[in-house]
Every structure is written in C-alpha cells, then in structure tokens.
Structure 1
Amino acid sequence: MNQAQVATKHIAIIPEFDYIIVGAGSSGCVLASRLSEDPSKRVLLLEAGPPDRSLWLHLPIGYGKTMWSNTYNWRFETAPDPNMNGRRIYWPRGKTLGGSSAINGLIYIRGQHQDYEHWAELGNTGWSYADVLPYFIKSEGNQRGASEHHGGSGPLRVSDIGAKHPLIEAFINAAAEHGVPRNDDFNGARQLGAGYYQLTTQNGWRCSTATAFLKPARGRANLVLETQAQATSIVFDQQRAVGVSYRQQGISKTARCKAEVLLAAGAVQSPQLLQLSGIGPRELLERHGIAVVKDAPGVGENLQDHLQIRLGFECSQPITTNDQLNSWSGKVGIALQWLFKRSGPLAVGINQGGCFMRALPDESDRPDIQFHVSTLSADMAGGKVHPYSGFTLSVCQLRPHSRGHIRIRSADPFEAPEITPNYLDAELDQRTAVAAIRCARAIASNPAMRPFVKREVKPGPELNSDADLLEFCRNHGATIFHPVGTCRMGADALAVVDPRLRVNGVTGLRVVDCSVMPTLVSGNTHAAAVMLAEKAAEMVREDVGS
C-alpha cells in the first residue's frame, strides 16, 4: 500500500453527470469541449495532473524543461528490452491539462492517406481517409487559411516556421540531390519530400489542446474540471459502466454518469485502467486478484511506437542553437527575439525541418522513414546541448512491424504498468533502421550539406557495417513519443473497441485516444489524436442523442 492509499480520508460521492471523461490530454480536452457544447449535458473531466500554469508549458522551447519534470510528466520507463540490449527506455508522457500536447515537439503531421485506408480495410468502417479528413479540417486553424486539405478557422492553431535557417535549407537541398523533392505541405496531396514542419503554435506560443479547446469551454456551467484527480477504476453495474472512482488530495471519490464513460488516458494508461477495472486478459486479472468483468485478451496488446535513431554532427559554422544557448549574449539575443518579434528558437522548439522518404524502395511504394532535423545537438531529446556547434538528424521507421504490450504489475492503480515495446523485434524493422542511417549519412554527405558538416559525431564513421549500425540502434535508439494501439479498434475477436470506439463486451464505455489506432500512423500522432476525438464526439452524440 502506497502513501496515497494510507492518506485516504473518506469516500465522497459526486453528483451524477451525463459524461465522464478520464484524461484531459490531446483527445480528452477536445471531447470535453465538444460534448459540453450541448448545455443540457453535464460533463465531468478528470485529470490526474495539475493545471497548466507553468510558463514552460506554453513556451515552445519549454519542451527541454518539461521533458524531465516531476510535476507535469509521468516519467515512465520501459521494462528492460532484450532487443535493446536490456536497456530501460525513458517514456515521457504529459501529466497536466493538455496532456502530451502540452509537452510535445509541436509538429503537426496527420500521416499518409494510405494509413487510414488501411484502417478501413481492416474492418473499421468510417475510418478511411475521406471519412477522417473532415475532422482534421474541422479542428485545424491553419495560418495559411482554408483549402482543399486544410481548415482555416478551427481551434487548433497551426503555424509556419517564419524565418528560413541555413542548415534546414541545406538539408532540403541535399535531400533534393538525393532524389527527394522539396515539399511545402506534408499534410497536403502527398507526404513525400523534404521541407519545414508546421507547428501547433500561435504568435510564438504553444497551442496545446488545453489552450485550443478546453480554455474557451471552461466558463460553461455544464462542464466540471477536476485536476489532480487520478482515476483508479471504472464503476460497473454488471456489464454497464456507470461511473469512475478516483483519488483527489488523499480522498477517494466516485462520480456516476447516465450516458457514457470516455477513457482518454492514452496508450499507456487507458489499457491500464481497463485492466484495473476487470477488462483484460483473464489470466492477468486473476493473477492480481481483480474480478473479471470481461475477458478481453487484446487489452494492452498491439503496442507500437516510433523508434528514434539520432545522428549527431558537429557544424562547420557557428550558426546552431547550441551556439546561442552556450553563451550569455546568445541567450539574451534569443530572449529579445521572442519578446519583440515572437520568433526565434523560443518560438519554434526543437525540430524545424523534416523529410519523408523511402529507405527500402524495393519494399515500399510510399515513404517508410521520417526525419526530424534539429539545429541543435544533445545526447538525448531534451538534454543539455553540446559545447560545440552541432545539429541532429533523427530518423524513424514510420510503420514498424514489432509489437509490444502494456500490462499492470499489481492491483495498485498508483503503480506504473509494465511497458514492453519490443523495439526492433521484427527483421524488417532492423533492416529499415540500418537503411535509415545510411540515408541520413548520404544526405549529410551531399554537396549542399558539405559546407556545414565538420564531422559525424554519432554514430561515428568507424561504424559502417550493417551489424555495427544495428548494434548502434540497439544501444542508442529511443522513443520519439508515439505509442499507440493498446486498445485496438477492429472487427475481430482480439479488438478492444468497435469502429465506433465502444469497448466490446460492455456498454456505456468508450476509449478515445491513440490506443485505439489499429496501426501506427506515418508520422507524429498529435494531429490524429485530435481528429479521433472530433470524430468520437460526433459519434457519441449520434449514439446517445443530444
């Protein structure tokens, strides 16, 4: 029994709501905003973390601070991964209003059209690209305005990176020399190409879902927000979800609902909460003394994530963010740039440039890897920058074949679950990782990049065989923060939710977050998490009535 349990004072019963949403993150804030638009429906939003009051949660560069925060970050670690030479890998996840959208790298990428066509082919009716595009458009407020592919007036602000950077320009030109065309819109007609990312920012500030969706809704009388309120279990009346139990300031509380409980706790904690509540593999639940509500062997399985391989370079010219952060004059300069122009590193965050290309062209007819190009270098994402001029080419496989799982370690809701990603378990993933490093090296050695590359620091030119490069990936690969799939949507026996995101085998319960993705989208997951919630809110209203 932990301290939170010892400190329990009494049990409080909260008035009844129509909807209870667990998790005020990328999806949960959207759900709360949309469902509370109907004044006749009472909505309770539960968030385990504190309010988003820190300046670092709102400055794009704050990513480097919140990455290690004990206050705003769950700071998970994986189990020792045999495929990664037994390493535990750090998994940051947001623990505040906005969830991971309050601490992420800000990049707005939807994935490839074919990702969603594949979801539909797997039996998920209503999830083709044509089906989901209207919800991407509805949520998006792109500074470029409305178009065939984009929304111009949605709550989630999406902005261009204003100033061009010589390193990013060199990378784009070097990619063109490698046969990868320039692309000014990765979310348009095609994803293939190299260019600048668009970011979820506005006027130099981060635009999390708490800022975009929740803040405008906070004044509604029918929306109740409870922070520092960690859900401990779903309450069932036989096979129907009727409420949520949670712990807040040492007090155990229970809230009940008339319509539905909506889990939006993310790919780690939504399956954890289902298992704690009796929905999961029977053997796992019985081992931990949990009464089985529904034997659901798929809960917690099908875990997928993007494995990030970081190549570090020393730059020949003092034009990197390292140079600015390693001197007082540089720090003052970027602070003034943000104060007076709302631009510069403080307004951009970490990664400016990107590239989507094929590492194994004989095996894929569409991009299978993604680059994140950063004008700084550090030993790991969010770490202290190196003392020299440096930049980073990070590369990841877009659609890994390896599968892992999330499983509770005990019946204690305050004990982190076991996270087992099984990175590089699949042979295709191993070959793609090696090929991706070779693609990065080839671009870095092209004429357009040569004036900027003094030396390759990591992996280092001494590592060149496939075996050496694969070993480098095992020793240094890390998450790029895109876990999905652990409450998979589908039409088969192992699917956790149906295509309307209702949990199979029970009623009154849905999951609405990246855990429902049957397969990982080809890119950063935040935009898709927002889309999922936009679509889910409409489905809830249709099914429940409003």
Structure 2
Amino acid sequence: MKFKAANITVLAVSLLLSLTSSIHILPDSNGTLSLQNSYDYIVVGAGIGGLVVANRLSEDPSVSILVVEAGELDDRAEDVSIPGNIGLEDPRRYKVKLDLASQEFLDGKSRVISQGKVVGGSTIVNGLVWTRGSAADFDAWEDLGNPGWGWADLLPYFKKSEKYTLPPNNKSTHNFLTALNPVIRKHGEKGPIEVGYPNYYYNQSHNFLDGIQELGIPVNEDPNGGSATGASIIASSMVAGNQSRSDARIAYLDPVLDRPNLHLVTGHTVTRVLHDNGGATFLNSTYIPGATGLNIIGVEFAANSIANKIRVKCVNEVLLAAGAIFSPVLLHISGIGPAKVLGNLGVDVAVDLPGVGSNLQDHPTLQPVYKYTAPDVFSAWDIVGSTRDVVREEYLTNRTGPWTAPMVDVVALPALSWVVDDLQEWLRETTNVTNNLPSSYEETLRAGYLAQRDEMISLLARTDTPVYEVMSTSWGQLAVSAMRSLSRGTVLARSSSIFENQPIIDTRFCSHPIDCKLLLLGLEFNDRLIQTSPMARLIPVPPPGFGVVDARNQTALDEVMRPMITSGYHLSGTTSMLPLSLGGVVDPSLRVYGTRNLRVVDAGVIPLLPAAHIQAALYAIAEKVCPSVPLRDEFVIR
C-alpha cells in the first residue's frame, strides 16, 4: 500500500527527533504536527498498556516511539489527585460515556458506562483499588493454552510494576495493622506505581471487618500474595508520602519526559491501522515467529471527523492499547475481524478473525446503600460546608485525615463453599447451561467458551478463589460484584468511521442465569452482615426491597435487583489471548493472529477475567510483553 497525498497532511521528514525537554507534541499555528514520517514503534492509546510499553521501549535510545492518544493531559487538580475526592470529579473532563445495549436478561433497558479519555486512561479516574487476584486465576490462563502466563510467570512483573509501602502506625490506622501481614518477597519495592494505604480509616471499616469475621469469614492478611479469599484491608494505587493518586501517567510518562526518542500526540484519534495486504496469508495454526502474515505499515489519525488525516509509517510494530472496547472496533475498521461483521461495515477483509469483539467479560455489579443512621457515624457524606474546609486544610497541610481515604479500603471475598451448603449442586447448575452464548458465536468461539467454563467451575470449587466481592464504603454502600461471571457478550463497530462509532456493546449480563444467582447470594450475605453485632451498631437502613424480610423472598429480591445491575468497569476479553482453535485473537506474545507486526496490550487480551480489580494485572501484562530490558534478579521469586 502506498501513501496517497489526497486529503492527507504531508509530513516533513525529520532525520533527528526534536531535542526539546518535552515529548508532548502540539499543533503549531497552522495546525501542523512536527512529527517524523516514520517511527520504529507506534502505540495507539496512552492508558496503562500504552504508557508502560512506551516507557520500556524508549529505554533503548536507538529506537523511536510515537504514542497517539485521543484525550489530553489532565491538570492534576484536586478532584483527580486526592483519594477522598474519588467519584466527585466532573465526568465531562476526562471521561467518555458509552451506551450498553438493552439488557434482555435483566430489565430490557440499556446502561450508560464511562471510561477514561485522558493520558493515563482510566487510572486517572478509577477507584484506586489494587488487587491482583489469586494464583489460580492466572494458572487458568496457562491452562487455556497460553504457556508462560501462569502465576509464577506473572509474579515477577507484578513486582516490577509496583513500589509497595506498608501503612503508617497512627491513631487511625493502628487497629487495622493487625489485619495486615504481607509476604514482602511477593511485593515490589522499586516499581513505578506506588501502592500503599491511607493515613486515615473511617470507624465503619472496622465494623465491617469485625462483622465479616462474625459470619465466619477469616481475615486475609495478604490478599495479593496468591490467595485472595477472606476479609481484607486492600491496598490502593496511591503515593504513600503525599497520599495522592498514583497513575500510569505520573508513574510511566512523567519521569521520561526528557527522552528525545519518545513522542506523544494528544487530542488525536487513530482512524485506521494501515497494512499491505499483498500476498498476506491467514495463519490457520498457532503463530510461528517469522511466518508470513499481514504486514502493518503504519497508522492513520486525525483530530476530528473534518480534520485532515495524518499518516505515519511504522518500521517495526504497531501496538494497540485503546482498551477492550476501542481496540476491537479499530481492528474491525481496519479489516481485521469476522468476515460477516466487516462485510456489514463495507470494510474489505484483510484477516478473517472471528474472535475480534467477542468473549466480552465483566464483573456485573450492584451498589445498594444500607445507610448508617447511628448518631455517632461520621462518613464521607458528612464532608460538606465548613467541615469540608477543615478536612481540606488538614490534607493540604499534613497529608492526613479523611481526604487520604479512598472510597473503598476494606472488602470481603468469600469462596463459594463458605457461603453455600450445596456446593456440588451449584457446580452442576453451572455446567448444565449450554445455550447462553450469542448467536454470532461460531465453532471456535463456542469451543473457547466451553474451555473457559471448565476452568471457571474448577475455580468456583476452590477455597482460595472468591465467588463474589463485597466492597464497603464509609456511608453504607455494600457493593456486590460477581467475580465468576459465566455470561459473555460482544463489541461491534457501528460504522467504518471511528468518529461515527458509538460501539455496539452488549455485555449480556445474566445471560448465564448463574450470574444473577451469585449476585442474589451476595445480597443475602449483606442481609446477614448488617445483622451482626458490629454492623448493627451502625443502625443500617437497607434500601427499599433489600430488607431482612425481603431478602428471604428470592423472587421479589430478584425483581428489585435486576434493574440495578450494571458494569463493574472491568470490561475485557474482546481480543483474547487464546489459541485460534478456541476463538483467540492474539497469541502468547500478544501478536494478532494473521499479522506479523501488530500486537494488543490492553484488557482485551485477558482470556479469563480474574476475580479482582484489573489494573494491577494490566500493568503486569504490559511489563511482561514489552521486548525491552530483561528482568533483574530482584524481581525473580526463588
């Protein structure tokens, strides 16, 4: 494919990269970007995956890297950086809203979700929760045909990405330290992302931990050590010293702003991945290094739908890191995906790859609030007016007080056998359902799902992997997420133009009926929890339909619950790392099947969603795939 001049901005060729002190490239007065006409690596998206690989690749001064991001740099304002302000930020600043398709298995209505549109991606706007999942979660990845992706293989990269710090011992934290006893050799000490704990805990967190133990759920002193089940104080992606958000931008981008071989363009959206289709052949077996495949020659991007399109050549590789929603959409637009889908878009098929956009997974979530009405309860909802001024001053002056506390700092992660008497009956029910997949799934996708289902049944039977998560907030929200969802959905491009693309996202929540049963199980757990003596002291008031009497009527509770189910914001799997025979999109090197130099490095590659919040896993994935500096001995567990 040759680069055509029509409607394309002609870029001046530069023999040397700009030696400015900043890699951030902005348009000049004429709207022109001072770019090279080619780069060794082009990274699409500046979230976790994009910034990690850009950082690591740029350690080699002999290679050039371009990162293209649709969002802008955030302003580091208080609504972004301060843990106590989570959820209070203006969503118009750094988020994009996305519509989910009508949920036929819930209430027939759509949902609205959002994700970060900013340098740093969703790490700029997430809840900071830092959980890895259990060792068995990642061993399941290897069992599904991904050698080198088990827990032992990933642990060095979990360590490489993080700088772990224990909480301080003060009046607010003292009573919580007995619930923490991390295995230090399983945590990183020098990584870019700071992982720590707040300088302040609300008293309600203590009530929650005590109440969970009264129900027979033990404390887990290190939920990131390989066994996740139990009641836990959880770490956050926060800087221990100044008690602020630690995100992908400040960890992986800001420290390398002086590298002249790394360029970042913001406010521009990649419209296509460019390839030379002449003589390309589709691989019908596992990828073999050096085998023939579609040759990726660059990317095309623009500021908006009416702006001139810019094309930049790629010498080595293009790495997609646009997320589990937009990476498959971009592949569709570029001619890589199911032939029928591409045909409906009017896009020529370059690689017929059925799995692109399928295998969508999430943690379906409920967020009921059991309002704490005891007169001595102080919560984040009470930080208003003059109280807010006092709390803000304490934070800015001493980095202490309620504003250091994120929304969630304690959770419960029970194993299925801990909360049901008839474990084998639950496992049989999980196995018996076979007709819950989208009609678009062809033979390999169905085979892949069955392999995943078998792994899920094995995980549900274990005591070191949780069935659901209960997340506690200071004001009484006891959010429940099904950690072992067996439902699968799809992401489809709506148009051949990225700017006309509100993607068709169908999570198909509870298409496998076991998922709603697991959520009901979590709500019944909440019902028992608020009746424990530590929680009863808070005088919790359940939301309508969630009271003690209602919880005993599963049919009524189910009717109240379904309209409330929404995304857990852990969408993944749409470009799965699986064998081709199981509907995979990328191989264990994260290279797209049928191509020779295109990889995906985002949540889409996750083949089976871990029972955890996923940011820690995404940092480890990106660190592992980056063909840069070998691991130092300090990261290797011996």
* TM-score normalised by the chain length of structure 1: 0.91
1:28 aligns with one of 50, 54, 57: 50
Secondary structure of the residue aligned to 1:510 is: strand
Alignment partner of 1:423 is 2:509? yes
1:456-495 equivalences under 5 Å are 456-461=542-547, 463-464=550-551, 465-493=553-581, 494-495=583-584
Alignment partner of 1:242 is 2:297? yes
**Paired position in structure 2 for 1:374:** 473
**Paired position in structure 1 for 2:449:** none
CA–CA distance in structure 2, aligned partners of residues 409 and 89 of structure 1: 17
**CA pair 182-445 structure 1, distance change in 2 beyond 3 A:** same
**CA pair 254-318 structure 1, distance change in 2 beyond 3 A:** farther
Secondary structure of the residue aligned to 1:351 is: coil
**Paired position in structure 2 for 1:286:** 343
Alignment partner of 1:58 is 2:95? no
Amino acid at match of 1:490: L
Secondary structure of the residue aligned to 1:182 is: coil
2:224 aligns with one of 175, 187, 190: 187
Post-superposition offset of 1:183: 2.2
Q: Which has the higher strand share?
A: 1
**Paired position in structure 2 for 1:264:** 321
Alignment partner of 1:452 is 2:489? no
Amino acid at match of 2:256: A
Contact preservation (8 Å) 2:530, 2:540: no
Alignment partner of 1:515 is 2:515? no
CA–CA distance in structure 1, aligned partners of residues 128 and 608 of structure 2: 22
Post-superposition offset of 1:189: 4.3
CA–CA distance in structure 1, aligned partners of residues 377 and 7 of structure 2: 57
Secondary structure of the residue aligned to 1:216 is: helix
Post-superposition offset of 1:541: 8.8
Between 189-198 and 504-513, report the one with greater CA deviation: 189-198
Contact preservation (8 Å) 2:365, 2:565: yes
Between 23-32 and 346-355, report the one with greater CA deviation: 346-355
CA–CA distance in structure 1, aligned partners of residues 275 and 371 of structure 2: 58
CA–CA distance in structure 1, aligned partners of residues 114 and 341 of structure 2: 26
Consecutive unaligned residues of structure 2, counting only runs of 5 or more, are 1-5, 12-35, 167-181, 278-293, 428-460, 632-638
Post-superposition offset of 1:87: 2.0
**CA pair 458-151 structure 1, distance change in 2 beyond 3 A:** farther
CA–CA distance in structure 2, aligned partners of residues 177 and 409 of structure 1: 51
**CA pair 539-370 structure 1, distance change in 2 beyond 3 A:** farther
Task: Kindly provide the CA deviation profile for residues 178-223 of structure 1, in whole angstroms up to 9, marking residues without a partner as x.
Answer: 1111223210242111122211011221111101111111210000
**Paired position in structure 2 for 1:172:** 209
**Paired position in structure 2 for 1:382:** none
Secondary structure of the residue aligned to 2:156 is: helix
CA–CA distance in structure 2, aligned partners of residues 163 and 59 of structure 1: 13
**Paired position in structure 2 for 1:96:** 118
Contact preservation (8 Å) 1:312, 1:459: no
**Paired position in structure 2 for 1:317:** 375
Contact preservation (8 Å) 1:141, 1:156: yes
Secondary structure of the residue aligned to 2:201 is: coil
CA–CA distance in structure 2, aligned partners of residues 459 and 108 of structure 1: 32
Contact preservation (8 Å) 2:56, 2:629: no
Post-superposition offset of 1:251: 3.1
CA–CA distance in structure 1, aligned partners of residues 585 and 226 of structure 2: 32
Contact preservation (8 Å) 1:28, 1:264: yes
Post-superposition offset of 1:52: 1.5
**CA pair 317-196 structure 1, distance change in 2 beyond 3 A:** farther
Amino acid at match of 1:191: A
Secondary structure of the residue aligned to 1:11 is: coil
CA–CA distance in structure 2, aligned partners of residues 234 and 99 of structure 1: 20
Contact preservation (8 Å) 1:311, 1:458: no
CA–CA distance in structure 1, aligned partners of residues 266 and 183 of structure 2: 35
- Higher radius of gyration, 1 or 2: 2
Contact preservation (8 Å) 2:198, 2:406: no
Post-superposition offset of 1:436: 0.8
**CA pair 161-62 structure 1, distance change in 2 beyond 3 A:** closer
Secondary structure of the residue aligned to 2:185 is: coil
- Residues matched between the structures, number: 519
**CA pair 309-426 structure 1, distance change in 2 beyond 3 A:** same
Secondary structure of the residue aligned to 1:272 is: helix
Consecutive unaligned residues of structure 1, counting only runs of 5 or more, are 1-7, 377-390
Post-superposition offset of 1:148: 1.8
Post-superposition offset of 1:84: 2.3
Contact preservation (8 Å) 2:220, 2:229: yes
CA–CA distance in structure 2, aligned partners of residues 454 and 17 of structure 1: 58
Post-superposition offset of 1:501: 0.4
**Paired position in structure 2 for 1:3:** none
**CA pair 205-281 structure 1, distance change in 2 beyond 3 A:** same
Post-superposition offset of 1:174: 0.7
Secondary structure of the residue aligned to 1:472 is: helix
Between 40-49 and 70-79, report the one with greater CA deviation: 70-79
CA–CA distance in structure 1, aligned partners of residues 61 and 550 of structure 2: 62
Contact preservation (8 Å) 1:146, 1:153: no
Amino acid at match of 1:433: L
Post-superposition offset of 1:348: 2.5
Task: Kindly provide the CA deviation profile for residues 311-346 of structure 1, in whole angstroms up to 9, marking residues without a partner as x.
Answer: 211211343434423x41221122122112223343
**CA pair 323-79 structure 1, distance change in 2 beyond 3 A:** closer
**Paired position in structure 2 for 1:355:** 412
Post-superposition offset of 1:62: 4.0
Amino acid at match of 1:222: N
CA RMSD of aligned residues (A): 1.9
Contact preservation (8 Å) 2:411, 2:470: yes
**CA pair 163-71 structure 1, distance change in 2 beyond 3 A:** closer
CA–CA distance in structure 1, aligned partners of residues 322 and 630 of structure 2: 21
**Paired position in structure 2 for 1:225:** 264
Contact preservation (8 Å) 2:201, 2:402: no
Post-superposition offset of 1:454: 3.6
Task: Kindly provide the CA deviation profile for residues 242-300 of structure 1, in whole angstroms up to 9, marking residues without a partner as x.
Answer: 11111126231111111100001111011011001000111111111101110111000
Secondary structure of the residue aligned to 2:157 is: helix
**CA pair 30-152 structure 1, distance change in 2 beyond 3 A:** same
Amino acid at match of 1:208: D
**CA pair 370-438 structure 1, distance change in 2 beyond 3 A:** same
Post-superposition offset of 1:27: 1.4
Amino acid at match of 1:399: R
CA–CA distance in structure 1, aligned partners of residues 627 and 486 of structure 2: 32
Task: Kindly provide the CA deviation profile for residues 153-188 of structure 1, in whole angstroms up to 9, marking residues without a partner as x.
Answer: 101000112333211101101111111112232102
Task: Kindly provide the CA deviation profile for residues 342-400 of structure 1, in whole angstroms up to 9, marking residues without a partner as x.
Answer: 23343233112111113454143231111211113xxxxxxxxxxxxxx1100111120
CA–CA distance in structure 2, aligned partners of residues 458 and 333 of structure 1: 34
Post-superposition offset of 1:460: 2.9
Contact preservation (8 Å) 1:107, 1:199: yes
CA–CA distance in structure 2, aligned partners of residues 176 and 425 of structure 1: 33
**CA pair 212-168 structure 1, distance change in 2 beyond 3 A:** same
Contact preservation (8 Å) 2:481, 2:519: yes
Contact preservation (8 Å) 2:201, 2:405: no
**CA pair 96-111 structure 1, distance change in 2 beyond 3 A:** same
1:273 aligns with one of 295, 307, 330: 330
Post-superposition offset of 1:410: 1.1
Between 304-313 and 273-282, report the one with greater CA deviation: 304-313
